[in-house]
A = this chain, B = another copy of it.
Amino acid sequence: MEQAKIDFLKLYLSLYIDHFTVLQGLKQPNSPYVVLDVRNAPAQVKKVQIKGALPLAAKDLTAHLAELDKAKTYVVYDWTGGTILGKQALLTLLSNGFKAFELAGALEGWQGMKLPTEPVTA
């Protein structure tokens, strides 16, 4: 039983990337990471996003896959870590051969750590 738990936790945690790794990557001149804001909400509801994120709602992701770059690693996030939108986006990306992770803690955790955000423009 303990081994089943350990295997489960390893697989579960392998879906995630932490904010520190993402922040360090984004500082590089040719960052390997592209942060995707996959919230299904209009700009006036989203208000702010992670600085440098690309808004691409989970519901529109499949229609925009051709615009994405297989050389990049996509980091998706939703409002909180308790929703399923990040995992839906992650499934779409991985199933289509993209490298992708969900941001641990989501936007809520990012803001809780006072990491850089910016206003969402419509």
Contact = CB atoms under 8 A, between A and B. Distances in A.
Contact of A104 (B13, B83, B90): B83
A108 interface: yes
Nearest to A15: B5
A82 interface: yes
Contact of A81 (B82, B88, B95): B82
A43 interface: no
Contact of A91 (B9, B84, B94, B95): B9
A9 B94 contact: yes
30 contacts: A1-B14, A5-B11, A5-B15, A5-B90, A6-B91, A6-B95, A8-B11, A8-B12, A8-B15, A9-B15, A9-B87, A9-B90, A9-B94, A10-B91, A12-B84, A12-B87, A13-B84, A13-B87, A13-B88, A13-B91, A18-B84, A79-B112, A80-B80, A80-B82, A80-B108, A81-B82, A81-B83, A81-B84, A82-B82, A83-B104
